Structure 1
Amino acid sequence: MNWRRLYAVIQILGTVGCISIAAAGLYSVILIGICRRLIGLSENVSVFAIGIPSFLLLLTVFVRYLPAHLRKAGMLSDAPEKFGPWFK
């Protein structure tokens, strides 16, 4: 593995991972707040029964679909596979 390919892999994993964790956390906290206000759930129930499952679900969705949108926006380099066989 050469340095360009390693850089592309680290950039993709770091960027997608950080943005996915931050976005999933934000939306989970918003959902927890809505459930506590509208439904009247306690803090423990809303965090453990709603917050953690929604965080994990949103995290998998973001990790799956976010790289294409970030690449289209120009925030990511090309995929490591596009560097060609000479960079393996």
Structure 2
Amino acid sequence: MNWHRLYATAQTWFVVALASIVSSGFYTVVVIGVCRRVVGLSDNVSIFAIGLPFFVVLLFVFASFLPKPLRKAGMLSDDPEKFGPWFKRDGEA
């Protein structure tokens, strides 16, 4: 594996992991808020019994399903040649 491919792989893992953590954290905060306000659960129950398992499940769901939409949106790219001119060798156009 050359360093171009290593960079492409690291970029893909980082973007997917960051997007998964942020999105699952957002939805977990919404679910915890609903549990506290609407259902009337205590802080410990809503955070540790509902929020933490919900976060873990959503993290795995988003990590497995997000690469395709992110690639379609142009945020991920499997081809290292598309990352920009800094990967071009001397003499290449």
TM-score bracket, shorter-length normalisation: 0.7 to 0.9
Q: Deviations over 1:40-84 (max 9, x none)?
A: 00000000011001000100110000000000000001178xxxx
Structure 1-normalised TM-score? 0.87
**Greater relative CO (CA pairs within 8 A, separation 6+):** 1
Q: Deviations over 1:16-63 (max 9, x none)?
A: 000100100010011000010111000000000110010001001100
* Larger Rg belongs to: 2
Counterpart-to-counterpart distance in 1, 2:29 and 2:50: 10
**What secondary structure is seen at the aligned counterpart in 2 of 1:63?**
helix
Letter in 2 for 1:73: A
Cα 1:26/1:6, change in 2 over 3 Å: same
Is there any run of 5+ residues in structure 2 with no aligned partner, and where? Answer: 81-93
Q: Which residue of 1 aligns with 2:30?
A: 30
- Among all aligned residue pairs of Structure 1 and Structure 2, give the percentage whose two residues are the same amino acid: 59
Aligned CA-pair RMSD: 1.2
Q: Does residue 53 in structure 1 map to residue 53 in structure 2?
A: yes
Q: Which residue of 2 aligns with 1:21?
A: 21
Counterpart-to-counterpart distance in 1, 2:62 and 2:39: 27
Spell out structure 1 runs of 4+ moving beyond 4 A: none
Greater helix share, structure number: 1
**What secondary structure is seen at the aligned counterpart in 2 of 1:46?**
helix
